[in-house]
A and B are shown apart, each in its own frame.
Chain A
Amino acid sequence: MQTSHCHTPLNNYRMGLLSVFCVCLFFSSAFAVDRGNFKTCDQSSFCKRQRALKPGQSPYRALLETLELSDSRLTLQLINDNNKVHLLLELYRLQGNMTRVKINELKPLKPRFEVPDVLIAEPPTEPLSVLSKDDNGIVLSLGAESQRLIVSARPFRLDIMEGPEVLLSLNSRGLLAFEHLHLRKDTQAQPDGAEVKESVDGDQQQDEVEKDEDGEGDKEQDGLWEETFKSHTDTKPNGPTSISLDFSLPGVEHVYGIPEHADDLKLKTTDGGDPYRLYNLDVFQYELYNPMALYGSIPVMLAHNTQRTMGIFWLNAAETWVDISSNTAGKTVFGKMLDFVQGSSEKPQTDIRWISESGIIDVFIMLGPKPSDVFSQYASLTGTQSFPPLASLGYHQCRWNYNDQEDVKSVDQGFDQHDIPYDFIWLDIEHADGKRYFTWDPHKFSQPKEMLQGLMDKRRKMVAIVDPHIKVDSGYKIHSEITSKDFYVKNKDGRNYEGWCWPGNSGYPDFTIPEMRAWWASMFAYDQYEGSMENLFTWNDMNEPSVFNGPEVTMHKDALHGKWEHREIHNIYGLYVQMATAEGQIQRSGGVERPFVLTRAFFAGSQRFGAVWTGDNAAEWGHLKISIPMCLSLGLVGVSFCGADIGGFFKNPSTELLVRWYQTGAYQPFFRAHAHLDTTRREPWLFGPENTALIREVIRQRYALLPYWYQLFFQAYRTGMPVMRPLWVDYPKDTVTFTIDDEFLIGSDLLVHPITEEGSRGVTAYLPGAGEVWYDVHTFQKHNGAQNLYIPVTLSSIPVFQRGGSIIPRKDRVRRSSACMENDPYTLYVALSPKKFARGKLYIDDGHSFNYDTKKEFIHRSLTFANNALTSSNLCPDCNFLTSSWIEKVLILGASKPSKVVLKMDGKETPVDFEFDSSMSVLTLRKPGMNAGDDWTLLLQ
């Protein structure tokens, strides 16, 4: 779901007010975002003010005499020569090749907000040392690798260097700007309320004293102490508080990240348009290929070139805009060639500028140098992807709404009748009693436990939605408890904030309060959440938060979370909702079982709490296509468990689009079909036997590959490596890969090029890796790397290739659900490199508990093929888990025919039957039969 979720009643609601007008509005804007509902930079006063500030000489100067250096922390004061306000700069050298830069007011009028709960811990530091110091600046050593940090005094600027190369500069364009907290002078001097002309503190032209004196009202400077958008007025008791800083990246032409935007993987320059916006919003029928804000925000950008990958993490939860410009962006290929031929000295460079409405500057610079280093650096700050229950990697069947228990039962039976596996069936908002979450509709879902037991008997599970808006109804337990505990967000006047959402008038629990989150978590206990059972999981929607009658369909910025305005915490609200919900699921099992919670809104760190989907997309080919860069962007900044609504949420997909979407979704991490209330039914068997067969086939492919997906999620959990990744992550020196976002890798070993064009008869896939080979997973045909391969396709085709040099374990006995496959044997797909080598991993645990973590109950094995021997060795000797799964078959792709195959195990040798297909060079070892947890070697002789 669900903006339309949002929109339908929103319109109904409005209709009550101005019916005809609204209907007209709707029809004129059918299936496109109503841009007028959302702010442009020009309509957001701080963005407009900050953007008006052009690159130039910075008014900030470092006061070197104030330098203080403890073991790992350097502090230094900065002064704005225009207004004499002092800032405090803190520099930290963090473990793992990172630098943290914090800038705050030295003596703010009152504390400025610093975002809690995102970092998993205070990041461990490493010693900093001063290499040299003079009147112009300081040179600091960043430890190893001849890395230095140069602090220039006048104007203030930071440069991070490695050897002679500048890796990154801060304030090199002089766009550091810090609107310091101050009292509203005009209210004292001019009680009639005329605005005092003000400007961003970084403004070079004027100094504040002058401004105060001239006292002219300047329309362009409106919005400092109050701002109105559409009918909503944002009172700003703290006045202007925005911050900004620029970063220059010499030698960089490709930057990625800062989700969520419906845009290409490679970020575009924003000159002449709006900056990319980060402000969690419930956007109805979002448009593709523009920088508008969507449901979630992760203020992390990655920069990549053939030499290095770096990251910038801007830890700020207020409304944020990001400008990107590049000195090469405007150039044609010919222009670039000309530069090359003429030996142009101009080096490519990308310049970034972050602007936030409030808070402080707190930046983490992740210096890589490899992509995997940046991932682990970011993971060390905000944590890794939570390790999901195995079943949640299976197929999810969702719809707004499955009408009643009978409906759920018949859909469940439909899957069995058509022999299609699935693990989760989902219930949207209509399941609850009048949208009172944690309850069930007394007529349609009168026996929830009976329903859940029915699913449990089939070893399947259910997800029911729990949104954070709470119906204001004194007879509703959740509402009355939140009221009595005083846990609601407050409006600017201190009364409970109320807004309009699904249930009508609603309160919004203040998830920033730890006690509130603990209470919320306790509501998931089996004795609190009536009708719940251990196979019921949760979906948090509308947690931007969505407020139908609020500004930009969200909460008023001057609403209050304790002493902090909503303005300060907006982008992290959704994270807290999912955090509290996941905690509730953990607690209900006494800490034993892993949670599964899907969220629509997210922030940096959300990866620790579950899965994310790309919100309310539409049944259009463009939306299928955009699902790839949208999930790739999320994966790059920590959120691996990503998916898009299969089929498209709004509108009815053509059969071809639906089939293609299943084929794409089966190879994306979170695999869920979902549909709007107004669409026709689209369960996989409703489109004729041929299409049912196509969908069944690709869902089965997904299930066969679950061991691989599971192992990749284990790896993501351990290391922060994204599960679904752009090609450049594994081929960082291959410039061709830098802009590819119509195909992707799953782990390092599967390359997928989904068909996302209507009526496609063929696609050209890029197979990376000079000197490498790739095997078509369906035909085992071998193709060389570093080529564009044309692949003719039919409706049954989903081009997938396994990398030569990899071993992928599959469970080819696909059953009704992942749980049913628990004890099934493995088939190993060994795809040999040209050097006849391959390597892979196998991970096994109980699939649902935390015992892998708390008791080390798992099997982790390394599988290596070298010198004609395939060996399984233990990667975790002190781990302890017993499986009844065994190895039923080994396929070796790119093999030659042996005369004999022998299994060596426990000092014994037994012959193994085999077959050899000489046309495709596939060697099949028949039923070697060893337990998947054993040490063994298969020798080809």
Chain B
Amino acid sequence: MTCLHLLLTLVFAVSLGTPVEIQRPRGVPLTKKPFYEENKPFTCLDGSRTIPFDRVNDDYCDCKDGSDEPGTAACPNGSFHCTNAGYRPMFIPSSRINDGICDCCDTTDEYNSGAKCENTCKELGLKERDVLQKMAEITKEGFLLKQQLIEEAKKGREEKQGKVTDMQENKKQLEEKVEALRTVKETAEQPEKEAKERHLKAWEEQKAAIRLEKDKAKMAEAFLELDDNADGFVSVSELQSHAELDPDADGTLTETEVQGLMGGAAQVDTSTFESVWTNIKDKYHSEVSREEADMSSAQKARDDFEDSEKALREMDDQIRNIEKELSFDFGPDAEFTYLYSQCYELTTSEYIYRLCPFNRVSQKPKYGGSETNLGTWGSWSGPENNKYLVMKYEHGTGCWQGPNRSTTVKLTCGKETVVTSTSEPSRCEYLMEFTTPAVCQEPANMDLLPHGHEEL
């Protein structure tokens, strides 16, 4: 027969160095002590019924809310309070009382199970304080860094805004210039246009013939230019001096590349130069700078107009880029601005992971192989109270028989900006941990750290 008696607990707590005993039923937090008055009928905390006090903690559940059995496992929905002097107090589900597993560091949850628990509250308290202290230091320094980041972001933003304003001013002028040149062009084109309308076909043919002729002339000219030693052949070495012909644009025009351009021949004469010319004519720069003497006035007007229009487009792009940057949500104080256009890497045993905030996340095998897109910037998606704790990158490379890859980046406070870990909890759903000062909160007052006397 395992009738457990009403169990009262003696709690030794430390307050101002003086031990105090507070008697109350097992598992009851001090705040609720007034509801458990010895020798008076007990009313379930939900008010559902009143029972004799000897049915409190008698290992039988009488109250629907479990409040009559704070110290036993009798109620399915009960909770047990452990004081954990020296550490932090906590509630555990009453199903963990006497289940043979030590849950409370003060061992009070295992009073009748035979489990050998040791009181580890002091250790845990010290450890926690240690951790909290370190965290606090990090937070403190991180928060200072954050202030700088905010300051820099503010400056940067102002600069950029200023730049945009300036550029917009310039843009206006440019637009006017474009309009002016357009008029010039259209005027200059008028005779041409009329002729075109009349003899459109002939004109086209003529234009093509002219173009061909011009090209031929250019080719002949180029041949002569290229044939440095005037032996009637253009050789590999002669062509190689023209660095602008570099097919892969890596800055050096290798012999192999030249051979490629020359279709494998060591040298070409004028007749075979034609095929080489098709390969190089788009890039070829003549050595003698020369005016297109034969340029018609219409052509010149057209070119001027196109140049200015191009300049306008470039300026538009620049403005758009800055505006795009300015439009990002870089946090309430723009503290995440510094991450823009940066990338951070983490190397694991197999892969190099790369996080480029507000842009994309990728993964590249350490030992060769192509890069995989693990998602492009989606949105902030932290909890409601602070969405800036989590970044979501979506629509990465599709998985075989699975979804598109995506990455969740969890941000924690740190002095440095580092990717600390990556994992793939579900197939093709990546998780990345990232520390940055930008999420460091204003440090709490150190005095508020627990010292093991919350109870009193």
List residues of chain A with CB under 8 Å of any chain B CB: 8, 26, 30, 403, 406-407, 419, 443, 457-459, 677-681, 700, 812-816, 819-821, 823-825, 884, 886, 888-889, 926-927, 929-931
Contact = CB atoms under 8 A, between A and B. Distances in A.
The 10 closest A-B pairs by CB, nearest first: A820-B99, A681-B426, A927-B60, A815-B95, A678-B402, A680-B426, A678-B427, A886-B2, A815-B99, A813-B73
B93 interface: yes
Nearest to B424: A403
A931 B1 CA distance: 5
Nearest to A824: B73
A458 B96 CA distance: 11
A677 B96 contact: no
B429 A680 contact: yes
Interface of B: 1-3, 58-60, 73-74, 76, 93, 95-96, 99-101, 113, 349, 399-403, 423-429
Given A458-B101, A886-B2, A888-B60, A681 B74 contact: no
Contacts of B100: 459, 819-820
Given A458-B101, A929-B1, A813 B76 contact: yes
B101 A884 contact: no
Contact of B2 (A406, A814, A926, A929): A929
Contacts of A26: 401
Contacts of B99: 459, 815-816, 820-821
Contacts of A700: 76
Nearest to B102: A457
A322 B116 CA distance: 60
A678 B399 contact: yes
Interface of B is mostly: loop
Given A815-B99, A820-B101, 10 more contacts: A458-B101, A459-B100, A678-B399, A678-B401, A678-B402, A680-B429, A820-B95, A886-B2, A888-B59, A927-B58
22 contacts: A403-B424, A407-B425, A459-B99, A459-B100, A678-B399, A681-B426, A681-B429, A700-B76, A813-B73, A813-B74, A813-B76, A815-B96, A820-B100, A823-B113, A824-B73, A886-B2, A888-B59, A888-B74, A927-B3, A927-B58, A929-B3, A931-B1
A929 B101 CA distance: 25
B1 A457 contact: no
Contacts of A929: 1-3
Contact of A825 (B2, B101, B402): B2
Contacts of A812: 76
Given A459-B101, A820-B99, A679 B73 contact: no
Contacts of A459: 99-101
B425 to A, nearest CB: 6
A814 B427 contact: no
Given A680-B429, A825-B2, A813 B95 contact: yes
A443 B101 contact: no
Contact of B60 (A30, A403, A926): A926
A814 B76 CA distance: 7
Contacts of A825: 2
B427 A679 contact: yes
A150 to B, nearest CB: 60
B423 A403 contact: yes
Q: For B58, B59, B399, B427, which residue has the most chain A Cβ atoms within 10 angstroms?
A: B427
A930 B58 CA distance: 15
Contacts of B423: 403, 406-407
A169 B258 CA distance: 91
Contacts of A884: 2
Nearest to A930: B1
B424 A816 contact: no
A680 B424 CA distance: 11
Nearest to B402: A678
Contact of B95 (A407, A816, A819): A816
Contacts of A889: 60
Given A677-B427, A888-B74, A443 B95 contact: no
B348 to A, nearest CB: 9
A926 B101 CA distance: 28
A522 B113 CA distance: 36
B374 to A, nearest CB: 16
A461 to B, nearest CB: 14
A459 B96 CA distance: 12
A821 B97 CA distance: 11
B101 A816 contact: yes
A405 to B, nearest CB: 12
Contacts of A30: 401
Contacts of A457: 101
Q: For A813, A814, A819, which residue has the most chain B Cβ atoms within 10 angstroms?
A: A813
A648 to B, nearest CB: 15
Contacts of B401: 8, 26, 30, 678
Contacts of B402: 678
Contacts of B424: 403
Contacts of B58: 927
Nearest to A460: B101
A813 B349 CA distance: 46
B76 A681 contact: no
Given A677-B427, A815-B73, A419 B93 contact: yes
Contacts of B96: 815-816
Nearest to A926: B60
Q: For A678, A814, A886, which residue has the most chain B Cβ atoms within 10 angstroms?
A: A678
Contacts of A419: 93, 95
A823 B426 CA distance: 38
Nearest to A819: B100
Nearest to A404: B423
Nearest to A820: B99
Contacts of B428: 678
Given A459-B101, A884-B2, A927-B60, A814 B95 contact: yes
A215 to B, nearest CB: 53
A934 B165 CA distance: 92
Q: For B59, B96, B426, which residue has the most chain A Cβ atoms within 10 angstroms?
A: B426
